[in-house]
Each structure stands twice: as C-alpha cells, then as structure tokens.
C-alpha cells in the first residue's frame, strides 16, 4: 500500500493533544460523550498503533479526571462538519498567504 | 593661515556643507519583500512534511495546501528493487465531502480514519504555518 494520509496519523505535541482534548470536552457537558469523541478522534486503544495507544490512554485518563470538573455548557458552540472544517482551514491558509503577499496595501499607494 | 589650512583640509576631506544625504534615509513608503505563492507554498510544505513524524530512510514527503480547496500529499521513495516510486494524492474539498484523487483516475470520498488524519493534519498545518512562517496566532476554530 503506498504511503498516504490514511496510514499516517499526524504526530501531535503533548500540549496540543491536551488542548484538543479540552476543546472536545468543552463542547460536551456529558463526560462519557467527551471520552467517546476523544477515542473517535484519536483511535481506540485496542486498534491504535503504539504511539496512538498512548494518546488514547492519556485522553481517557484526562476524560475521567476532567469529568468531575466540567460544568454543563449552556450554549455549546456549533461543531463544524469535516467538509466545513476543511474548507475553513483552506480559506484561513489562503488568507495568511494573501496577507504575506501584501504586507500593508496602504504603503503601496 | 587658517584659511589656507581650512582649504587644504577641505581639499583632502571634501566639502560636506552642500552634501545631499537624502539617499541615506530609509524611504518612508518602503514595500516589504514580497514572496510569490510558489515560494510561500514551498516554505509551508517544509512544515507540512514534518507533521507526520520522522520519514523512513530514502523517503521524501510533501504535504501542503495548494489553494483554498486543494491539499496535496506527495511522497517519493526507493522500493526494494531500487526503483523510484512516486505517489501523489490530491484532496479536493467539494460540496459533498472531501474527494481523494490519485493516479490512474482513482476517486473516492475520504472517510473514517483517513478523514480524521487529514483534518488533524490540516489543522496542525494551519496552526504551525501561522506561527512559524507568518508569525501570527492562528484563529480559534470551533
């Protein structure tokens, strides 16, 4: 099988894993659901590759610990669909590129 | 005497009383060096290549955002018979989902683990290029 993104998960730094977890947990007052989302995002401990197992384990432990502290979110933010998220990220990268090409348009007038 | 001396000095050092130093001043409307799309993509692709951890020996990888709706994964490696292999995958964000396009007219919508990996990679890519190339904080995403 040729290398594709399907068999290569991005390697995330630990602080980013933590922040992604809390982003997910913030949107889910139900801790069990948060844990499930984390497992869905990072893969289950049983099926995951060695590196990913550690991520899933850490996330589950965080879910248990974090569970006692999560207040119910009255208005959870809208969750983007995968397609919407991909479109948004592409647009954001393009906007960075455009801004770099025109550092300050007023200076060129 | 002083006038002769001052004349001699001015002959040696030059007369700067009427000198114009404007050329030394920094222009107020200076335009910063602008990079082309291609140059920016090349810089971004260097970061994209590092998102998936260390590469196996003999592999070369690129992952980058080509335009607002197209992302590219490109990998080259030497196989066991020492032949160069190349795989390029294009991910197109379309109305119905994210279409994966590979050589040989193979098309499929991305789903499951590959979709999760792709979205995480896109997100990490955006955050890292924002900070490391464009020196700005990425916008928070819901």
DSSP label at residue B128 = H
Which residues in chain B touch residue A102, judged by CB atoms under 8 angstroms apart?
A: 34
Residues A25/A31, Cβ–Cβ less than 8 Å: yes
ipTM above 0.95, yes or no: no
- CA-nearest of B27, B9, B29 to B17 is B9
Distance CA B52, CA A51 (A): 12
Residue-wise pLDDT for A50-91, tens only, equals 444 555 555 556 656 555 554 444 555 567 889 999 999 999
Residues A22/B132, Cβ–Cβ less than 8 Å: no
Higher pLDDT, B99 or B29: B99
Which long-range contacts link B97-106 to residues 24+ away (Cβ below 8 Å)?
B97/A82, B97/A83, B98/A82, B98/A83, B98/A86
Select the residue from B35, B134, B140 to test the A interface by mutation, using most A Cβ atoms within 10 A: B134
Which whole number is the average pLDDT over A8-35? 64
pLDDT higher than threshold 90 for residue B64? yes
Q: What is the pLDDT of residue A101?
A: 81
Looking at every residue in chain B, the average pLDDT score rounds to 85
Q: What is the pLDDT of residue B30?
A: 46
Higher pLDDT, B141 or B2: B141
DSSP label at residue B108 = E
Looking at every residue in chain A, the average pLDDT score rounds to 65
For helices A14-26 and A31-42, give the axis angle rounded to 10 degrees.
Answer: 140
Select the residue from B53, B93, B97, B102 to test the A interface by mutation, using most A Cβ atoms within 10 A: B93
Which whole number is the average pLDDT over A15-33? 61
- Percentage of residues in chain B having pLDDT higher than 90: 56
Among chain B residues, CA nearest to A95: B68
**Which of B70, B96, B117 is opposite residue A10, by nearest beta carbon?**
B117
pLDDT higher than threshold 60 for residue A45? no
Interchain pair B65, A94: CB under 8 A: yes
Which residues does B138 contact at the CB level (< 8 Å), separation at least 6?
A: A92, B126, B127, B130, B131
Assign B4 a pLDDT band (cuts: 50, 70, 90).
confident
Compute the nearest-CA separation of A3 from chain B (Å). 7
């Amino acid at each position: 099988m040729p290398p594709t993104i399907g068999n290569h998960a991005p390697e995330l730094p630990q602080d980013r894993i933590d922040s992604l977890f809390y982003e997910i947990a913030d949107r889910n007052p139900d801790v069990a659901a948060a844990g499930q989302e984390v497992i869905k995002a990072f893969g289950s401990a049983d099926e995951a590759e060695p590196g990913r197992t550690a991520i899933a384990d850490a996330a589950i432990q965080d879910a248990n610990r974090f569970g006692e502290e999560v207040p119910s979110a009255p208005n959870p933010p809208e969750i983007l669909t995968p397609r919407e998220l991909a479109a948004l990220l592409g647009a954001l990268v393009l906007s960075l590129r455009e801004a770099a090409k025109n550092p300050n348009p007023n200076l060129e007038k | 005497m002083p006038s002769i001396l001052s004349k001699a000095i001015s002959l040696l050092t030059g007369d700067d009383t009427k000198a114009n130093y404007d050329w030394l001043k920094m222009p107020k409307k200076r335009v910063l060096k602008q990079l082309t799309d291609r140059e920016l993509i090349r810089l971004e692709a260097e970061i994209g290549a590092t998102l998936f951890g260390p590469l196996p020996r003999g592999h070369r990888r690129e992952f980058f955002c080509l335009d607002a709706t197209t992302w590219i994964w490109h990998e080259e490696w030497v196989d066991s018979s020492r032949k160069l292999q190349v795989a390029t995958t294009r991910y197109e964000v379309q109305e119905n989902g994210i279409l994966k396009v590979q050589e040989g007219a193979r098309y499929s919508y991305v789903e499951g683990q590959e979709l999760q990996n792709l979205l995480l990679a896109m997100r990490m890519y955006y955050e890292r290029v924002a900070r490391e190339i464009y020196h700005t904080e990425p916008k928070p995403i819901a």
